[in-house]
Structure 1
Amino acid sequence: MSDGLAGGYDLVIFDLDGVVYLIDKPIPGAAEAVERLRGDGIAVAYATNNASRRAADVASLLTGMGVPAKPDEVLNSAGAAAAVLASRLPAGAPVLVVGADALVAEVRDVGLTPVFSFEDKPAAVVQGYGPEVGWRILAEAALSVRAGATWVATNTDRTLPSPRGPLPGNGSLVAVLRTALGREPDVIVGKPEPALFTTAASLSGAQHPLVVGDRLDTDIQGAVGAGMDSLLVLTGVSGPAELLAAPPERRPTFVAADLSGLFRPAEDLRLPLRLDAAGGWRLTRTGDRAALDGDGDPITALRLTCGATWDGVPVEALEAVSPAAATLLENWGL
């Protein structure tokens, strides 16, 4: 059993995009982290909002990257959305699919009929991310929802992380229909809804799981909603500036630069750090302002400053005293 953070949990649930890989490239250290967890006897699961791949395809992709995974360890929003539809519609009902082939296959596998035209009188529209989604299928979806079809979105992630920077995600495509229809989807299946996390814990029999994610608005908010501890890693979408300004429902239990944090002492990563000084840094509060001085581990500085901003100091009221602090705040986009 690991003596680090992960050793206090019986299951680690990983988000994928921005945590384990970026599109199709593994994040350095991810494979080693998963192997070490397995060697320590800690169960792992993968929960992703990306609906463009089936569970078996995700497991195969991970395994090909050197990250060991089995299909039954992968939970994705495509399968969850299909399950929601199957519970609401009669067998064989037509469902207009906006998304990748993986979502089409999931809909078919639950006994429903994928269609792609308003003329097929779909009973529901299911919308997931697909790199080929364009105006034509969005137009068919708009017509169908306006005619009364139930609108189910696999997730509303605004962006997808990539090696080149954030790219439009399913939430951006959902926003197209939201604008055209003037309404919200009837059901949003993926994170921040807690179902993917609670299902992963239930399937493994875990009593004390840890969620690892890169997004405050999906992974971390979903973990908070599920009543689970969470670790934010800074390898994907959410960065220090967003963490400093996070509302209570989006605040992780821990923060780390990357997955190596799983093997550091939990108290070195816990949020917030309400001290005047730690690890070479000093934080001085004066009224509604706070000044950071010194030099040291950036994660320690982030934990200290979260202690101030989460207690009411405006993010824009953080000041740097030392050159190292000035560089750090600049790197954080402040």
Structure 2
Amino acid sequence: MPEPTLAAAVEVVLLDLDGTVYAGGRPVPGAAPAVAACREAGVDVRFVTNNASLPPEDVAEHLGRVDVPARPDEVRTSSQAGALLVREACGEGARVLAVGGPGVAGALTDAGLVPVTSADDAPVAVLQGFGPRVGWAELTEAAYAVRAGALWVATNTDATLPRERGPAIGNGSLVAAVRNATGAVPRVAGKPEAPLLLAAAEGRPALVVGDRLDTDVAGGHAAGLPTLWVSTGVDVAATVVAAPPEHRPTHLGADLGALLEPPAAVDRDEDGPAVTWASGGARVRVEDDVLTAGDGGTPLELLRALCAAAWERADAGRPVDVPAEVLGRLAPLDAR
């Protein structure tokens, strides 16, 4: 009997968006057929995003434009998770200062809360999310409310946003302005914290999928969920090899097609003082604290073997240097 695929081993896959399903206005190759195959296999799909500026309806519409049909109820945003945190702390009907794009105020309304726009409206909480038009006036209102004792919840703290021209200022940079002005520290709803992912999973066995180690993978760790890193976005393969424990994914894939494959095994073999890790045709060997790699295997197989070796050695307090020429063989993954 064939081994279950990564997707078939869970009830729901939690997919990051930018860098995983699409890149700006372009679809990521292989994403649409992988999502369709998950649905055909009876696995639920949730699109989970730290981007708080847009309501789920707009996110679903954008997904349709990149050939991934989606319903609004399949989308989970950090604004929604933040609104739930506020409601749990303050109760339905609470007045909340909404800072960010229309997705922030919409999430508050949907959660039974009352969004307001000024600290003079006596809000009991502030929900701060990204919005391209957020400026000094909105940030100052947030600072006034936080200083007055309002609960402060940030949808996410991503310092930058991926854009076609390069990294742009993200919500974390705007949150830093309010923090600098008040000395307060917000509660955070989005990745890498657990609330957004736990809300999206709804108590079911889930797999977190994304391209960023410090948000998607770290968020999976915080939520106690397995993770799949894909090489289609921000983090390059060499960064994965050097990742600290909290940023290490459970599984490695080139793209979302990895969801349709069984988990890849890495075999470990000891021969006296030497240890070899093997994945497919790739072989990585460490002897006398020197790492070498054989010529075989695909870049992804080599990455799996390198991660197994480097992580084991780092955890044992005996890290090894990976030669630049070996890391260079991972470059085809980064060019995707």
TM over 0.5: yes
Task: State the TM-score bracket (shorter-chain normalisation).
Answer: 0.7 to 0.9
Amino acid at match of 1:192: P
1:184, distance to aligned residue in structure 2 (A): 1.5
Q: CA distance change for structure 1 residues 244 and 178 in 2, over 3 Å: closer, same or farther?
A: farther
Q: Could you tell me which residue of structure 2 aligns to residue 235 of structure 1?
A: 232
Sort the Cα spacing of 1:248 and 1:79 in 2 relative to 1 into closer, same or farther, 3 A. same
2:322 to 318, 325, 329: 318
Counterpart for residue 96 of structure 1: 97
Aligned equivalents of 2:142, 2:201: Cα separation in 1: 34
Q: Which runs of 5+ in 1 are unaligned?
A: none
Structure 1, residues 245-300: CA drift from partner, whole Å, max 9, x if none? 222222211011111222233126x7999844444443232444423342531111
1:195 and 2:189 correspond:
no
Alignment of 1:146-157 (within 5 A): 146-157=147-158
TM-score, normalization: structure 2? 0.85
Matched, 1:221 2:225: no
**Paired residue for 2:272?**
none
Counting only pairs closer than 5 Å after superposition, residues 246-261 of structure 1 correspond to structure 2 as: 246-261=243-258
Aligned match for 2:207, one of 190, 207, 210: 210
Going from structure 1 to structure 2, the CA distance change for 1:38 and 1:295 (only over 3 Å counts) comes to same
Deviation at 1:212, TM superposition (A): 0.9
Whichever residue aligns with residue 255 of structure 1, its letter is: L
Distance 1:276 1:308, change over 3 A: closer
Go from structure 1 to structure 2 and tell me whether the alpha carbon gap of 1:250 and 1:285 turns closer, same or farther (over 3 Å shift): same
Instruction: Give yes or no for contact 1:271–1:303 (8 Å, CA) kept in 2.
Output: no
Larger CA deviation: 90-99 vs 176-185: 90-99
| 8 Å contact from structure 2 (residues 289, 320) kept in 1 | no
For residue 306 of structure 2, what is the aligned residue in structure 1?
Answer: 305
In structure 2, stretches of 5+ residues that fail to align are 270-274
Calculate the TM-score normalised by the size of structure 1.
Answer: 0.85
Structure 1 pair 263/130, CA: closer, same or farther in 2 (3 Å)?
A: same
How many correspondences in the alignment? 325
Structure 2 residue aligned with 1:27: 28
Percent identity, please: 46
Cα 1:291–1:183, aligned 2, differ >3 Å: closer, same or farther? farther
Match of 1:117 in 2: 118
Q: For residues 4 and 92 of structure 1, what CA distance do their matches in structure 2 show? A: 44
Decide whether aligned partners of structure 1 residues 287 and 160 sit closer, same or farther in structure 2, where only a CA change above 3 A counts.
farther
Please report the RMSD computed on the Cα atoms of aligned residues, expressed in angstroms: 2.9
